Chains A and B, each alone.
Chain A
Amino acid sequence: MKLHDIAFNNLRRRKGKVFFLVMGLLVGVASVVALLTTTSTLEEDIAHKMDEFGANILITPRSEGLSLTYGGLSLGGLSFDLKEISQQDLDKIKTISNAANIRIVSPKVFGVFESNGNKALVVGVDFPAELSLKKWWKITGKQPEYEDEILVGKEAADRFQLKTGSSVDIKGETFNVAGVLETTGSQDDSLLFMALPVTQKLFGKENQVGMVEVAALCKNCPISEIVAQISEKIPTAKVTAVQQVVEGRMDTIHNFRKFSLGISGLVLFVGSMVVFVTMMGSVNERTREIGIFSAIGFRKSHIMRIILLEAFVVSLVAGIVGYLAGIGITRLLLTFLTDHAPHFSLDPMVAAGAVFLAVLLGLVASLYPAMTASRMDPSEALRTL
């Protein structure tokens, strides 16, 4: 008979009490694991979705420019020493060290279309890339598939009286309107979109690119690093991060993380209170036997060891089972919260953390009850008969 035999016998023969003690801690641990794993997975998911939602880096030809203003009136500006971006430069973007973060590269070239005195900007685009970048586009008709097909903004369609299926002459060549964009509320409404190679040829800009929009996944990398890396690869271009977009996205992700940490903290606090109250109740129930231990010669440290050992075993079991329960809840939650199966893996660090946290919480919450028990006056404890 050693002190640990007393603790183990108590746990073994008071299964009901141990069950409730384990449950108290288990609920806390499972909630935290489920919350952290779910938010971490959703964070990843949200970041991906947001990064797909529009460009966050703009590459334009580098030029020296003057902005002319006088007396608060804008008199326009002028650009000089313009350095073009070539088609080959685009391939260099894929060679930066953070290339894995580059999701979409959408080059553009511009030209002016004129018909019956009306003018509109023609934008040559890589349709698959452009459509991935602008997921909010809604097309009446279909996406252009062939080189002689174009996409027309709503305002431009109205101005030039174009509709799906009609044809239009641009620079002497006939193009069919494959689709008309529904109103977007942006400049896209007044543009005509056609395939990039055709536009380059039509406007005599072979191998040239007027602007490149890039969508980079920036959850785990600072966007400024990607900007710097692209600038280094294409020195003739001016690379800028669309700060408003980038910061907005990072803010959303940070707020989401803060929210999940706040909720986890709250659940942990409630969990630790449950353990504390349960342990305190358990100690109060055992006043009589703690009085006996003390009367027959157990030191304060002996009594503390019994209670803390019991707390350790209970917390360990609650930690392991709580982690498994938390993972189960996460799997269940994610099937409801996402429309596709997000990347989800068992992280040994989270497992170790959950068990460590449970044991730490169990021991800390039991420390005061254990100290109270060890300080109990034996004659006072025995008087509670």
Chain B
Amino acid sequence: MSYIVADKVAKEFGNGDGKVTAVRSIDLSIEQGEFISIMGESGAGKSTLLSMLGGLLGPTRGHINIGGIDIYSLKRDKLADFRREFMGFIFQSFQLVPYLNVLENVQLPLAVTHHSEAAKKSLALSALDRVGLKDKAHRLPNQISGGEQERVAIARAVVNEPPILFADEPTGNLDSRNSAEVMNLLKKLNSEGQTIVMVTHSRLNAEYADRIVEVADGGIKDMPVIRVVC
């Protein structure tokens, strides 16, 4: 059985005449250690699919199984625990907390764990080291560049070493040089065994993945990967 399984998941918003179907019925299986890109037009439902896969948005119909667990059968707090333990998130626009410095932002997912303060700091510094930002640990988010903020967001997503990384348009706000840096970083993490599910509208960035799927008309289809960059 695959590590992540979406079984006929559908998502509708609103009801009656105002009902909007964001995802009609999608079946998707992702293996452990796989790097998958989800593409699609704006409004095709790719971010909705990512939110459902990441335990952030319950489907109207269907099931999401991760590691054999139907995640939406879990109570709200248990699902929060599951996300903390098994998932890391890289959001659009970095989503760093403005009043916490870089080190504190990276430590956020550890704030509710039972690690000692020293261990939390050590894990956060190690994650920052992996993204090359250890020397900027005490700066506030507005004191570093956009590319650096994205790398801080990646460090925060991997600090507790979750098996799965969800990335929603991770290079959406970056120039091409910073985009390439971030994508190479994700590829490096994947090569170390990290499962990555990424939503992107950039074909170029999608090519970093092992597999590309396209969400269209509420359904999904596999697309060929033309590996030109590594």
A pairs with B: yes
Q: Which A residues lie at the B interface, using CB under 8 A?
A: 1-3, 5-6, 9-10, 12-14, 288-289, 292-302, 377-379, 382, 385
Number of B residues with CB within 8 Å of any CB on chain A: 36
Residue of B nearest to A14 (CB): B99
What's the nearest-Cβ distance from chain A to residue B72, in Å?
A: 13
A296 contacts B108, C-beta separation under 8 Å: yes
Q: Which B residues lie at the A interface, using CB under 8 A?
A: 51, 54, 56-57, 76-77, 80-85, 87-89, 91-93, 95, 97-100, 104, 107-112, 117, 120-121, 124, 140, 156
Which residues of chain A have C-beta atoms less than 8 A from B111's C-beta? 1-3, 5-6, 298, 302
The answer, among A289, A292, A300, A385, for a CB contact under 8 Å with B76, is A300
Which residues of chain B have C-beta atoms less than 8 A from A294's C-beta? 80
A296 contacts B56, C-beta separation under 8 Å: no
Residue of A nearest to B84 (CB): A297
A1 contacts B81, C-beta separation under 8 Å: no
What's the nearest-Cβ distance from chain B to residue A6, in Å?
A: 6
In Å, the complex CA distance between A294 and B54 comes to 12
A378 contacts B85, C-beta separation under 8 Å: no
In Å, the complex CA distance between A295 and B110 comes to 13
A382 contacts B107, C-beta separation under 8 Å: no
The answer, among A10, A293, A296, for a CB contact under 8 Å with B99, is A10
What's the nearest-Cβ distance from chain B to residue A357, in Å?
A: 29
Residue of A nearest to B87 (CB): A297
The answer, among A3, A14, A289, A296, for a CB contact under 8 Å with B83, is A296
Residue of B nearest to A292 (CB): B95
What's the nearest-Cβ distance from chain B to residue A377, in Å?
A: 7
Q: How many inter-chain contacts with C-beta < 8 Å in the A-B complex?
A: 86
Which residues of chain A have C-beta atoms less than 8 A from B99's C-beta? 9-10, 12-14
In Å, the complex CA distance between A1 and B104 comes to 7
In Å, the complex CA distance between A292 and B81 comes to 14
Asked whether A298 and B100 contact (CB < 8 A) given A377-B57, A385-B93, the answer is no
A288 contacts B57, C-beta separation under 8 Å: no
Q: 17 more A-B contacts (CB under 8 A) besides A297-B81, A298-B111, A385-B91? A: A1-B107, A3-B111, A6-B97, A6-B100, A13-B98, A13-B99, A292-B91, A292-B95, A294-B80, A296-B108, A296-B109, A297-B80, A297-B109, A302-B111, A379-B51, A379-B56, A382-B95
The answer, among A3, A10, A377, A382, for a CB contact under 8 Å with B91, is A382
What's the nearest-Cβ distance from chain A to residue B94, in Å?
A: 10
The answer, among A9, A10, A299, A382, for a CB contact under 8 Å with B81, is A299
A-B interface, 9 closest residue pairs, ranked by CB to CB distance from nearest:
A297-B84, A1-B107, A13-B99, A379-B57, A379-B56, A379-B51, A296-B109, A299-B77, A297-B83
In Å, the complex CA distance between A261 and B69 comes to 59
What's the nearest-Cβ distance from chain A to residue B141, in Å?
A: 11
What's the nearest-Cβ distance from chain A to residue B90, in Å?
A: 11
What's the nearest-Cβ distance from chain B to residue A235, in Å?
A: 78
Residue of B nearest to A6 (CB): B111
In Å, the complex CA distance between A150 and B88 comes to 102
Which residues of chain A have C-beta atoms less than 8 A from B54's C-beta? 295
What's the nearest-Cβ distance from chain B to residue A72, in Å?
A: 86
In Å, the complex CA distance between A301 and B80 comes to 11
A1 contacts B108, C-beta separation under 8 Å: yes
Which residues of chain B have C-beta atoms less than 8 A from A298's C-beta? 80, 84, 111-112
What's the nearest-Cβ distance from chain A to residue B108, in Å?
A: 6
In Å, the complex CA distance between A292 and B109 comes to 10
The answer, among A1, A299, A382, for a CB contact under 8 Å with B80, is A299
Which residues of chain A have C-beta atoms less than 8 A from B88's C-beta? 296
What's the nearest-Cβ distance from chain A to residue B110, in Å?
A: 6
In Å, the complex CA distance between A96 and B112 comes to 68
